[in-house]
Amino acid sequence: MTDSLTGIRVLDVTFYLPGPYAAKRLGDMGAEVIKIEPPGGDPAAVLSGGHVYGAVNSGKEIIRLDLKSEEGQTRMTELVRSADVLIESFRPGVMHKFGFHYEAVKNIKPDLVYCSLSGYGQSGPLAHLGSHDLNYLAISGSLLQMAGRYRSPVPPVNTFADYIGGLVASEQILGALVKRFKTGAGAYVDIALADAAAQFQIVHDQYSTANVSDIGIPEIAGTAACYSVYETADGRHVTLGALEGKFWRNFCEFAEEPEWQEYGFASEESPEYQEIAAYFKTKTWREWYDISMETDCCLAPVLMPHERHEHPFYKQLNAR
């Protein structure tokens, strides 16, 4: 990350993951981040041993305030006057009750960039409902894209919509800061996590509108031999993404099976695909791992999250 936001102060009035992650990204670019928590702290601090909290709040100054009290509101007003950005993730209406909604806050700091981050936005038919990452993935269409072979959705073990929402929020905040530097005007940014997840569907919408496919790009649906996930001899998996002819040829040449060059888009039900799948089972995951480092055919091992730290790509990044 860079120090491009040095001198920018961010008030992080958020809990759990999306808001704290958005604020952390700004902090990673040099911003000073002050996290405002209630007297009892962020509920994430006691979730699963506090690991979620620790991951997205490192480097922040933590201030606990009771925004229902006169003392807390006085201190919060002082902090707003000194801030450039405020991010909040309460349900719609809660910041109104505290007296720190955007219309009130811009009277304190007219050039403040104020971001509300919620599940379904500040208004609309679902705005008042509780929700989590799995819900946003479901209604955005993203969850079905993580379906298994028989189109059964699989609950992911990562909160993709939360992270996407945090990314979109930090991006929109940066855009609003650029505008402020040009015009001197503050801004209000309303981010709905369900909408952020849906922004990744523009290609799928294009295919659907053209009546070509209801699953997006057919070539990458995991049903073609050249672009799929394969099981190894020891029950682990590797990925092959050899969509382009040159990469598929490189794979076939490595396998010493020149006739496979005609099988690149063989479907997973075909005997040709099954022949290639059987070939992947002739080598262990570690063997394919090493092959992926030397053979230019868009091959990569499926890693456990912690294993990435030992992969040469990430080791090189961390050594910078």
pLDDT per position as a tens digit, 152-209:
788 888 999 999 999 999 999 999 999 999 999 999 999 999 999 999 999 989 989 9
DSSP character string of 102-166? HHHHHHH-TT-EEEEEESS-SSSTTTTS---HHHHHHHHTTGGGG--TTS-----SS-HHHHHHH
Assigned architecture for domain 9-200: 3-Layer(aba) Sandwich (3.40)
CB 226 within 8 A of CB 250: no
Looking at residue 272, its amino acid is E
Write out the H or E segment, with its range, that includes residue 22. helix 18-28
Q: List residues bridging with 293 in a β-sheet.
A: none
The class of domain 219-318 in CATH terms is: alpha beta
Range list for CATH 3.40.50.10540 in the chain: 9-200
pTM: predicted TM-score of the whole model, two decimal places: 0.89
The string over 16-25, giving b where at least 16 C-beta atoms fall within 10 Å of a residue's C-beta and e elsewhere, is bbbbbbbbbb
Angle between helices 160-183 and 133-140 (to 10 degrees): 80
For residue range 255-275, what is the model confidence (pLDDT) as tens digits? 999 999 999 999 988 999 999
For residue range 86-141, what is the model confidence (pLDDT) as tens digits? 999 999 999 999 999 999 999 999 999 999 999 999 999 999 999 999 999 999 98
Angle between helices 18-28 and 160-183 (to 10 degrees): 50
- Our CA angle for 257, 258, 261, nearest 5°, is 110
Range list for CATH 3.30.1540.10 in the chain: 219-318
Looking at residue 258, its amino acid is P
